[in-house]
């Protein structure tokens, strides 16, 4: 597994609150998209050897790879995309969910998406990809806690 900066905040709820505060600083969506791109650049390096069909997340127009590790006590996720904006969306999801217990992941709805206006400003294909990413993370947590 690569070295992960996550979790940054102590709880998933704190991470969502921090995301809401950060996005509130920006006046328009062009600034928010630029911030997403900047966040995507902060993702840890993703090994090229993991960029395989086995780790590919389907349901996204862009290529996305995700690798989970850990157990019910702590699940970590490494992920990457070939798209700058999607990389930023991955960063936000990992900030909320990676490095948390399976129970906390399952119990935390991704409210930040609607709260910062992402739901209204993503293309349908990006929205589908984000939904697939969140579903993968939360299903991994459900299986780990079963």
- Among residues 28, 4, 31, 27, the alpha carbon closest in space to that of 90 is found at 4
Catalytic-role residue among 12, 36, 57, 60: 60
Is residue 90 among the annotated active site residues? no
Question: Angle CA(21)–CA(109)–CA(82) in degrees, nearest 5?
Answer: 75
Catalytic residue positions? 60
């Amino acid at each position: 597994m690569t070295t992960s900066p996550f979790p940054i905040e102590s709880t998933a709820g704190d991470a969502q609150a921090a995301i809401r505060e950060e996005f509130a600083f920006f006046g328009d969506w062009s600034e928010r998209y630029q911030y997403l791109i900047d966040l995507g650049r902060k993702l840890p390096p993703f090994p090229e050897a993991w960029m395989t069909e086995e780790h590919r997340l389907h349901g996204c127009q862009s290529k996305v790879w995700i690798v989970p590790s850990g157990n019910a006590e702590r699940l970590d996720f490494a992920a990457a995309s070939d798209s700058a904006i999607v990389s930023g969306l991955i960063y936000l999801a990992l900030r909320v969910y990676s490095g948390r217990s399976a129970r906390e992941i399952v119990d935390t709805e991704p409210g930040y998406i609607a709260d910062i206006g992402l739901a209204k400003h993503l293309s349908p294909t990006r929205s589908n990809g984000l939904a697939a990413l969140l579903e993968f993370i939360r299903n991994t947590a459900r299986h780990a806690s079963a």
